Chain A
């Protein structure tokens, strides 16, 4: 399938138009959910770190450091990809799957259009393109969530938190996670597209394919998280 997906487009202009539509549909429409989840998770992590670091022997900066590194290394890349697999992945499978069972894909083929390329390539490019931005948004709002929640709950003061998130900062962690988000973006778009494109039957099968796609995408994300962490971090 990938060979057909990356084949030369019939009309580049139409693919680019479709790409912008997908960036909006799959990417921009996901910003709100990323923002809300990140703020809450950032806040919750700050409270939990503060709770675990109550011992006065621990420096107060550990709360900010812990929140920051968890967000940068794991939450905003891997956990967010798992969440997006549910939102974007199921959307892709059900959209392409419905097109398959209602003969819209056959209709494209009869017109002489490479349906795999036209339907899937813009989605893959859009998701791979948008994922690093979602990652950055997630890290930023996660840290903001911690900064707001810390003083409100009395867990930590703002200066202590800001000191903490600047303490022992390793820029490579961001590079590492950006690489992960690119790989996860590809998985989140391509695996559900595969399941949708080859679905057979009716609405029931589209639903089943959607579930299968999300499960398989999640497993692949975790597998690649392990591989990339081993290859790039240790």
Chain B
């Protein structure tokens, strides 16, 4: 479980996150949604400790990230898997090399054990064996995202963060990625936090949804009650897409 308590973050006097509190549950896909520039990425990077917050607390179960020293922060980060918007795979390393990298860095596994784990992770994201030796530039965007997910789960993380995991993908592949993340969240009982502005993802996997606007918590709920929300700002965000407006009418 991750608990964010009253965090505030500003850049050069411009407050991006304002006294925001939220709890992300274990074994659930927790979505952060909002318009571009609403503070989603800043919130995600603050939770990850990439940005130093001005005020507040960020608890990973019973550990407060804000009070951690460098050593403790590094230890925590080994329990975190992250899927970046563009995949962020290492260009000079093959698909299997990318997944093996955290194992090489942080485990004392033998070569055979590592190979087994790599195959297990890649198999879980439906990457065929013939693609193992390919380089990131040789595979499609959807495959890159899946390899990024495989790399993120290689060390069996307790927490999984995804920054717009299906941006730039076609709707079908985006759904595959969403379902994959949800399946892995359940299977490995991770606390998963997904940053998105894709309403399809919300309807597909939004077990817990946080809507932020101008750096403030505007609404929380689930995929089941988001379309019935009476929050005006949330309505404007959702029903910018006419399809969802029709769904509400029905």
Q: A: which residues have CB within 8 A of B?
A: 10-11, 14, 98-99, 102-104, 106-107, 109-113
Are A107 and B105 in contact, CB atoms less than 8 angstroms apart? no
The answer to whether A113 touches B105 (Cβ under 8 A) is yes
Binary A-proximity of B85-124 (CB < 8 A = 1, otherwise 0): 1101111000000000110111000000000000000000
Bound complex: CA A28 to CA B141 (Å): 34
Extra A-B contacts (7), CB below 8 Å, given A110-B50, A112-B106: A103-B84, A104-B89, A107-B88, A109-B77, A110-B48, A110-B161, A112-B78
Please state if B90 and A111 are interface contacts (CB–CB under 8 Å): no
| Min distance, Cβ A116 to any Cβ of chain B, angstroms | 13
- B43-64 contacts to A (CB < 8 Å): 48, 50
Chain A residues with CB below 8 A from B86, complex form: 102-103
Q: List 5 A-B contacts (CB under 8 A).
A: A14-B104, A99-B91, A103-B85, A106-B84, A112-B75
Contact of B105 among A10, A98, A103 (CB under 8 A): A10
B: interface residue count bin: 20 to 34
- A102–B88 Cα gap in the complex (Å)? 6
Q: How far is the CA of A110 from the CA of B154 in the complex (A)?
A: 14
Q: Given A104-B90, A106-B50, are A111 and B84 neighbors across the interface (CB < 8 Å)?
A: no
B125 cross-chain contacts in A, Cβ below 8 A: none
Q: A14-B104, A14-B105, A103-B88 are in contact. Are A110 and B75 (CB under 8 A)?
A: no
**A107 engages B84 (CB within 8 Å):** yes
Residues in chain A near residue B90, CB distance under 8 A: 104, 107
Say which residue of B50, B75, B101, B106 sits within 8 Å of A109 (CB atoms). Answer: B50
